[in-house]
Structure 1
Amino acid sequence: MTLMTVERIKLFSTRSPWWCMIITVALTVGLTAIFSAATKPDDLSDLTPSVTQFAYNFGLVVMMVMAALTVTTEYRFGTIRSTFLAVPGRTQALLAKTAVVAGLAGVVGEITAVGSWAIAKAIRPDAPLALDTGQEFRNVFGVGLIYLLAAVFAIGLALLIRHTAGAIVVMLVYLFLAESLLPAIPRIGPHIQDWMPFIVGNNFVVAGQLETDDGPPVIEGLPFGPWGSLLYFAAVCFGLLALGLISAKRRDA
């Protein structure tokens, strides 16, 4: 608990996490508010709980950048050395950091998801935004779990790369290009894409959603159902974190 308290103090003593949280909430909730206000009265039937989460990936990227920065800035300024000198095991210190940062990301994810749904309901009270099914609850409340696990992924990647620019560039290229361009590879591309972590993780939120819905994109034929997708995504994220922890133990700080 002492390690987690230290990591919490370190996290909130800098401005970047606060800015990242503000940008995440403002971006996702703001875009949903604009979309809801722009929806014509005749199209209110299309404004569903899943549609209110169409912008969650924008906030997800910001929180992943924040998670990566919590690691790379410590390596950049050398403060990680003080941490490793004060704590007998590097793994315990890094796990405490992961718990604090991922927990914060999960909370922010829930705030953005519920906030997006709530503001859409406030702007368009006549829209069909009631949460009546398990799929609709996952559309909204499942977003926080994806944020939490994505932060774990970002920390693992940052431990492997260590440099801020390198970690962020690799992360953004992977998120915006690598997974989405795989179908361009003849024959095997679409099959490989079905196993990509963020494609599968997104399935936890959108499984059961209609393809014609304007919410987060749906990819048919994935190997797992919603909860299997979440477990697979978690396994990949924690696997990358494990590689990062091994790297941190073997390399000089």
Structure 2
Amino acid sequence: MSAAEAAGGAAGFRRALAFEWVKFRSTRSTVSTTAVMAALPVPGAAFVAGTESLQPEDTVLGGSLTIAIPAMMLAAVLGALVICGEYASGTIRTTFAAVPRRGTVLAAKAALVSGLLFALALPAATGAYLLGDAMLGPSYAQGDPMPALLGVAGAFAVAGLLGLAVGTLVRHPAGAVTAVLGLLLLPSMLGPLFGDAERWVAGISPTAALEKLTQTSDATPESVGSLGPWPSLLLVAAYTALGLLAATALLRRRDA
């Protein structure tokens, strides 16, 4: 690739990213979903601490991030809405007219979703932990917040990318949201049906990676697999990347 082609590709990506940001902040559904997702962890931590519902064997980190799973579900829904909303409204044709390279469009959406979710999830999770620590005091084990909080923010970003991949493949908003929520919830729900294989079935879910990162006492090897938190997150990131590659290939082939 020549220097001119590389410069043109970079300029095209920057243009696509700027275009995506304008659409994102001007769409009510994406803005409201993002706001609720970012706001959930802190009041969740206050509720757990205020009701003294933390289990004796749990950690402050795990208890403070009890509501992280519903928040991560919203992150995945957000990723799906970023592209499904355009298919539903028909603006995807305008997007492809402005940026003809469809792979660049999807890359810009992925950069926006992952960067924004990480940037919002990290302070939200950190704030929840600090509030829980202040309210719960020394009665419980603290857990190891760093680098676990970075992993939690990363899990939110990966969930958003998973939603984007599913949304690109499905295109219909309701269908994509249903599919991505199923990917998050069904492995842990169906795991007990597989007997000794439960730990492997349940362990492939993004929610399993999140539970391990938050160090909750519910994240036992029997229920969410025997992989450690970081290998579990890497596994989820790997099949999310494969999903995005498949979505890119399909996006290039079919009509808008």
TM-score normalised by length of structure 2: 0.83
From the superposition, tell whether residues 246 and 57 of structure 1 become closer, same or farther in structure 2 (CA, over 3 Å): same
Post-superposition offset of 1:100: 0.3
CA distance, structure 2, for counterparts of residue 78 and residue 244 of structure 1: 19
Give unpaired runs (5+ residues) of structure 2: 1-13
- 1:218 and 1:109 map into 2 onto residues whose CA distance is 24
- Equivalent in the alignment of 2:20: 7
Report if aligned partners of 1:110, 1:143 keep a CA contact under 8 Å in 2: yes
Aligned match for 1:102, one of 91, 99, 114: 114
Q: Distance in 2 between matches of 1:87 and 1:136?
A: 41
Aligned residues: 242
What secondary structure is seen at the aligned counterpart in 2 of 1:185?
helix
- Maintained 8 Å contact 1:200/1:232: no
Matched ranges for 1:1-253 at <5 A: 1-39=14-52, 48-127=60-139, 135-186=144-195, 189-190=197-198, 192-193=200-201, 196-198=204-206, 201-202=209-210, 205-206=213-214, 209=215, 213=217, 217-220=219-222, 222=225, 224-253=227-256
Q: Equivalents in 2 of 1:191, 1:48: separation in Å?
A: 25
Alpha-carbon distance in structure 2 between the residues aligned to 1:117 and 1:197: 23
Code of the aligned partner of 1:165: A
Cα RMSD of the aligned pairs, angstroms, is 2.7
**217-226 or 167-176: bigger deviation:** 217-226
Are the structure 2 counterparts of residues 195 and 226 from structure 1 closer, same or farther at C-alpha, using a change threshold of 3 Å?
closer
- Flag the 1:184–1:110 CA change in 2: closer, same or farther, 3 A: same
Q: Compare the two structures and name the one with the higher helix fraction.
A: 2
> How far apart in 2 are the matches of 1:173 and 1:45?
30
| Residue 45 to residue 156, structure 1, CA distance change in 2 (3 Å) | closer
2:27 partner letter: T
Gaps of 5+ in 1: none
Could you tell me how far 1:203 is from its partner in structure 2?
A: 6.0
- TM-score relative to the length of structure 1: 0.84
Does the Cα contact within 8 Å between 1:84 and 1:90 map onto a contact in 2? yes
SS of corresponding position for 2:221:
coil
Greater CA drift, 120-129 or 93-102: 120-129
Identity of aligned residues (%): 27
Cα distance between partner residues in 2 of 1:224 and 1:186: 18
